[in-house]
A and B are shown apart, each in its own frame.
Chain A
């Protein structure tokens, strides 16, 4: 498992909520530059896995490594500063400030001023970076609009802009196309893929839409009742009998 080009590794991660085992001994390794998707029926533990990796929950057992260093049990802000950013399934932006200010507050955290005493009186200039991101997602015309006034699709893009503005090495996307129309989903998927390539980003993705997953992913892991039942390239996964059974609801006890 331990390869040099592994960006993120989860080793035997388990997470229980009381008696409920949401994740049981799940291991995944995401390599530099690839698009790795986690799929599975509702309640399979996908979001729990993301929340453990991003630091919202500490795992009950197991370990998470980011670029070879353990991030197990660290707070979300510490994990973000080590190069992991996350988007949320339910849009999670700063509703009462402008689109530009949303991305600015995300981007300024990566400047030299951030965390220093001088941040009390200085405002780093991140305009170029912010506008680059807004342009990439077609939001530059909307820069002065309050985030809450954006359409659903635009808010989904803003969500991704916020994460990208923190300059991550690894981006966790939790159903980035949730609530989008099929047309929007297609263009969003193409855009995400293109931006990830241009920036040398590694993507870890949760996605419901199978056509998106098959098109965009280099490798896929399948979760079912908190366990990983398969991992491999899209073609392998598509024909895996265990996966088909999980999705078609076999008579598994």
Chain B
């Protein structure tokens, strides 16, 4: 079973590596593919919390945005190293996530969701009104990241490969995690957290660890974003972005890891396609999502499962 999953994953990643060779892959489509995979990776990180631990976070945009600002601030000041940018993002997101998860996991259910939202709004407001970081304009026009001095990730192709590598690493990490001792405890917490306590598990500590891991994966994804877009703006931290992350997980399929990656990619493609025809694309996107949630409660991945089991 698990080797079948990893074989399938290996085929998918091989296809992703070969994708730029396809004849229709323009620079535009490469950047679109970058967004699909990056936000797919974010949705997958959120799935660790939502699908496995049973915690709904309304504040993941803050982890993503904080990672993006970490990179943008360094790039703006001429620090181009990918590794330094990732390092700063990990430190900043880590400290912030420690505070958020400590307070949020002290409460359950809707209170957890509300606390993550409130903390994220504080971060949004901070960047929105702090002129050092560009206020509402954010940080614009930053240069490309460098893997090594002089080796810049300055083309859509290189950015695309960067995100494929990140997704492969993050996916492997998540797969190992959910199959581990730790992952089994998270599922037990989702199923019945009171009983997990009476089996000797410090539930809050496990929830905090799950939040931290999910936040760090999201923050690293955020740190890769300015290298592709050239900017970090407060809009990345807005609560509606957190909402979009939740939608990506829901449409992909909770608790499946691969599902939310598909959900993230689907959401980005849908948004891109519809918005190129009409201005009121949110209405169309919204309707499609309602249909998916109503008729495919297990998400897009669940649809495929049903197809294979019925045949």
Contact = CB atoms under 8 A, between A and B. Distances in A.
Interface string B187-207: 110111011111111110000
Contact of A92 (B177, B184, B195): B195
B184 A101 contact: yes
B177 A86 contact: no
A94 B184 contact: no
A8 B87 CA distance: 51
- Interface majority SS (helix, strand, loop, mixed), chain B: helix
A119 B180 contact: yes
A96 B187 CA distance: 9
B199 A124 contact: no
Interface in A48-102: 54, 75-77, 80-81, 85-86, 88, 92-97, 101
B188 A76 contact: no
Contacts of B182: 119-120
B179 interface: yes
A105 interface: yes
Contacts of A54: 198
A77 B203 contact: yes
Interface string A10-42: 000000000000000000000000000000000
Nearest to A147: B191
A207 to B, nearest CB: 20
A166 interface: yes
A163 B192 CA distance: 14
A136 interface: no
Contact of B197 (A76, A108, A120): A76
A95 B192 CA distance: 8
A113 B182 CA distance: 10
Most chain A CB atoms below 10 A, which of B177, B195, B197, B198: B198
A106 interface: yes
Interface size of A as a range = 35 or more
Nearest to B185: A105
A227 B36 CA distance: 66
Contacts, number: 83
Contacts of A86: 198
B180 A121 contact: yes
A3 interface: no
A85 B203 CA distance: 16
Contact of B195 (A93, A104, A123, A165): A93
Contacts of B181: 108, 111, 113-114, 119-120, 122-124
Contacts of B191: 94-97
Contacts of B203: 77
B81 to A, nearest CB: 28
Interface string B7-41: 00000000000000000000000000000000000
A169 B308 CA distance: 48
A225 B177 CA distance: 50
Given A92-B192, A123-B180, A162-B195, A80 B187 contact: no
A92 B180 contact: no
Most chain A CB atoms below 10 A, which of B180, B195, B203: B195
Interface string A152-172: 000000000011011000000
Given A95-B191, A97-B191, A123 B201 contact: no
Contacts of A234: none
Contacts of B199: 77, 80, 85, 105-106, 109, 162, 165-166
Contacts of A122: 180-181
5 contacts: A92-B194, A101-B187, A106-B199, A162-B199, A166-B200
Given A93-B192, A124-B181, 8 more contacts: A77-B201, A80-B200, A92-B198, A105-B184, A105-B188, A108-B181, A119-B181, A162-B199
